[in-house]
Amino acid sequence: MTTLTRRSLLGTAAGAAAIAALPRAAFAKELLRMSTLGPGTSPNLVMTTFANIVNGALPAYEIQLNATGAATRHVLEVAMGRSDFCMSSPAIHALMRNKAAMYAKIDEAPELVKKLRTVLNFPMGVYHIAVYGDSGITSMDQIAGKRVFLGPPGGAAFATMNRLFKAVAGLEEGKDYEAVKLGWDAAAAAFQDGNIDVYCNPTNAPSPALTQIAVTNEIRFLGIPADKLETEAVQKLVGRPGFSAAVLPAGVYGDNQLNDSDATTLGVTVGIVANENADEEMIYQMTKAFYAGVEEAGESAPWLRAVTPAAAVKDINLALHPGSLRALTELGVEIPDAAQG
pLDDT tens track for 54-98: 999 999 999 999 998 888 899 999 999 999 999 999 999 999 999
pLDDT tens track for 176-231: 999 999 988 899 999 999 999 999 999 988 888 899 999 999 999 999 999 999 99
**Phi, psi values for residue 313, rounded to 5°:** -115, 5
Asked if the model's pLDDT at residue 132 lies above 80, the reply is yes
Asked if the model's pLDDT at residue 19 lies above 90, the reply is no
Asked if the model's pLDDT at residue 121 lies above 50, the reply is yes
Q: How far apart, in Å, do the first and last CA atoms of the chain sit?
A: 60
pLDDT at 46: 95
Helix (H), strand (E) at residue 35: strand 30-35
Q: pLDDT band for position 18 (50/70/90)?
A: very low
pLDDT (mean) for 315-340: 97
CA 329 distance to own-chain centroid: 23
Q: pLDDT band for position 137 (50/70/90)?
A: very high
Best CA proximity match to 40, nearest among 191, 146, 167: 191
**Cβ–Cβ under 8 Å, residues 248 and 263:** yes
CA distances from 136 to 78, 142, 143, 147 (A): 46, 9, 10, 14
Omega of the bond leading into 90 within 30 degrees of 0 (cis): no
pLDDT (mean) for 225-250: 96
Best CA proximity match to 121, nearest among 325, 293, 309, 289: 309
The H helix count followed by the E strand count for the chain is 14, 10
Asked if the model's pLDDT at residue 5 lies above 80, the reply is no
The C-alpha R_g of the chain, in whole angstroms, comes to 22
**Cβ–Cβ under 8 Å, residues 328 and 309:** yes
Q: pLDDT band for position 12 (50/70/90)?
A: very low
How far apart CA 71 and CA 40 sit, in angstroms, is 15
